[in-house]
Amino acid sequence: MFNSSLDRKLWRDLLGLRGQVLAIALIVACGISSLIMIQSTHASLALTKSIYYDSYRFAHVFAQMKRAPETLASQIAEIPGVAQTQTRIVVDVTLDIPNFDEPVIGRLISIPQERVPILNDLYIRKGRYIESERGDEVLVSEAFAEAHQLDLGDSIGAVINSRWQQLRIVGIALSPEYVYEVRGEGSLFPDHKRFGVIWMGRKALATAFDLDDAFNNVTLRLMPGVFEEDVIERLDQLLERYGSLGAYGRKNQLSNKVFSNDIDQLKVSGTMMPCLFLAIAAFLLNFVISRLVGTQREQIAVLKALGYSNIAIGGHYLKLVLSIVSWGTVIGIVGGFWLGSGYSHVYTEIFRLPILHYEARTDLAIAVICISVGAACLGGFGSVRKAISLPPAEAMRPEPPAKFRPSIIERLSIGRFLSPGGRIICRNLERKSVQAGFSILGIAIAIALLVVGRYFEDALAYLIDFQFNIVQRQDITIIFNEPRPNRVRYEITHFPGVLSAEPFRTVPVNLMFEHHKRQGMAITGIDPAGRLQHLVDRNLYPVNLPTDGVVLTTKLAQILGVIPGENLTVEVLEGSHAVHQVAVMGLVDELMGFNVYMDIYALNRLMEEGQTVSGVYAAIDLNASNQLYSYLKKIPDVSNVFLREASIESFQESMGKNMQVATKVLLVFATIITVSVVYNAAQISLSERQRELASLRIIGFTRAEIAFILLGEQGIITLVAIPLGLVLGSGLAALMSVGYDSELYRLPLIVTKANYTFAIMVVVAAAISCGLIVQRQLNRLNLIAVLKTRE
């Protein structure tokens, strides 16, 4: 198995095939690197999440209410299965940040006056904990501090219970409750410039909002093995009379939901692309080794005649395959762990993790080695079997020439319109149709990978345009801290810079249909004559709101299993907590979040209230926006302000950051694979046809003419592969769009002309570059050596 003579031959073969060996090794390295990068990132984030949540006691159950007495805490603690209870005060207020004109919302969360272990505990990145006797001291979230360049000792203004108060920053902190720092209330993406979390002493916050001996938020940590649903049901019963909006579990907590969803998607995407890369490597290995066996028939015969066994010869060629793969495996493992470490740190920046447990896991490296060896053996098995099956006497003879028969173009009398070189190209493609087919398939798959690499950019661009230019046309959304009379919409039109305003009413609900239930949802009532919140179907046709019943986003209807015409059970989480049967009257398509829409007047009737609004959508004069922002800061009734441009910016920053890294890596890998596939196809074709091309040179064909024959054949293969590759790429993009179909966002199947153009340009550039290399080799062709007759 390790004969020194065969080993020397192995090194000579590797040296002679160095270009193709490098190309295949790079493909293997791309597959292994992508596999290790994504799988190690997934494992590291999952481990980090588990350690962080446990170390800082991330709660299992959350509930918000209007006001509950502190004496209720003991009853909550007595619910079977509750291990720890934490009552808090949580209030959103308007902030005044130096040198920032736009409205900023701060979420004030109470913490004990003295530092003790609490649920959702704080990791203080910088500074110290508050002092009990200083009511103005606060800790702020790291992302918010960085966005506004706030530091220890800086002060920020806040409207606390209708009065301005200065808050002094003494610490910068992180919390497992806000690894993904987002407001909620329709905001799905972080906007660190306009929203931040601030932790303040319980005593000072209770005094400011008249909540002494009371709380408006509670979190629970459960004992192992306890059914979360049972605890939530008991908690809802206790809190119902205190204006609770309904308790929910950790899986429905927005920060955790987004974090967990991203980790899950990593696991899915970490399988598909690496498998494609390794499949291409196996295909090329089979192709290269098959060609090598064909050119070494006499050597195999001599080896057998000298007494080498089939096992020894088969082992030699198997070692050739494994040698090629081993280089790619080493490069892939080293590169994969390096990329994985960098990619994991990108996630720690997005999700604000104070720790990262990244591990270059040995078991993952071993698994990858097994996969690569398996792919190598699969790719080389047929060739090795062919090598050891040749009888010596047969192998000593050259391969019999192909039988001559008229080709299709000659039978169709088309050949007379072609030059001799053109006829040779067509005949060879027809007679070696299987090889040509494999070459076409290899190049097509490479093109498909390029299409998928650019797909994410196209999908994100379309998602932003669809959601923020077609559906959400308002420049600004203003939300009140309590429902207001409808006349407020007319008052807002007199605010500086406001061109038009449309009211909306938001009612928190739980939705049920048969055995399906969605907690923490909201029905949004909008003006049916409004133009700022635009409802469309999948064909972008407008959807008119019915005078009664609700309209659901398609994804939500799919999860609930409901279709238009059926009734939803709606449990209102506001007021008397009434339960209604509401008909589903239609579906709309949106690419972000879940929404339930209703005619605002029908929603007012359902709630048995007058014409009440929760906020307004507004179109504004952007030239007067700073005046409007300054005006809104002074209105205590405004709890939240969403700016469309800010939403786009935060979406691009939060979603684009990790996707850009992954997309760039994928594009680099896809480009390497494309060049490698095209190069191998050209080199194999040259290797197989050296004798034929040399013969043509002897009988009078010029160098340009034989280059035309060889490169023309490769050109036809590439041209045929391009449309097939574009179709395959669209199919892979469709698979990726299915994988990125989550509650937070859905990536549409959008492949633009620019994407196709990019893929075509890369493969054409690769084909031209490889063609120039092959032409140079043709010019150096040793006619005498090639034409030696093998007897």
Q: What is the mean pLDDT of residues 174-193?
A: 82
Task: Kindly report which listed range (433-437, 624-628, 761-765) carries the lowest average pLDDT score.
Answer: 433-437
Q: What is the pLDDT of residue 77?
A: 92
Lowest mean pLDDT among 402-411, 592-601, 659-668: 402-411
Residue 791 has pLDDT above 50, yes or no: no
pTM of the model: 0.77
pLDDT tens digits for range 353-399 = 888 888 777 777 787 778 777 766 765 666 667 666 767 666 566 55
pLDDT at 436 (0 to 100): 77
Q: Which pLDDT band holds residue 97 (cuts at 50, 70, 90)?
A: confident
598-615 tens-digit pLDDT: 999 999 998 888 889 988
Cα separation of 691 and 201, whole Å? 87
| Average confidence score pLDDT of the chain | 82
Question: Across residues 83-110, what is the average pLDDT?
Answer: 88
Q: Give alpha helix (H) positions in 159-253.
A: 202-208, 228-239
Reply yes or no on whether the pLDDT at 743 is more than 70.
Answer: yes
Count of Cβ atoms closer than 10 Å to residue 465 Cβ: 12
Q: Which candidate, 655, 717, 656, 651, places its Cα nearest to that of 681?
A: 717
Residue 541's pLDDT band, with cuts at 50, 70 and 90, is confident
SS3 372: helix
- Give the model's pLDDT for residue 59: 94
Mean pLDDT (whole number) for 570-578: 82
Whole-number pLDDT of residue 387 = 61
Residue 721, both tokens? 């592969």
Tally of residues, the chain:
791
**% pLDDT > 90, the chain:** 17
Q: Report, in angstroms and rounded to the nearest whole number, the Rg of the chain calculated over CA atoms.
A: 34
| pLDDT at residue 70, rounded to an integer | 92
Model pLDDT, residue 169: 93
- In which residue are the tokens 């350690």 written? 51
- Please tell me the least confidently modeled range out of 158-162, 228-232, 408-412, 537-541: 408-412
Give the model's pLDDT for residue 394.
62
The whole-angstrom separation of Cα 711 and Cα 683 is 11
| Residue 351 predicted with pLDDT over 90 | no
For residue 521, the 8-state DSSP code is E
Please give the structure tokens belonging to residue 213.
């001996």
CA dihedral of 239, 244, 250, 253, whole degrees rounded to 10: -170
Supply the pLDDT for residue 269: 64
Question: Which pLDDT score is estimated for 398?
Answer: 58
Rounded mean pLDDT, 157-173: 86
pLDDT at 456 over 90: no
HSE of 78, CA atoms in CB hemisphere, 13 A: 6
118, two tokens: 């609490």
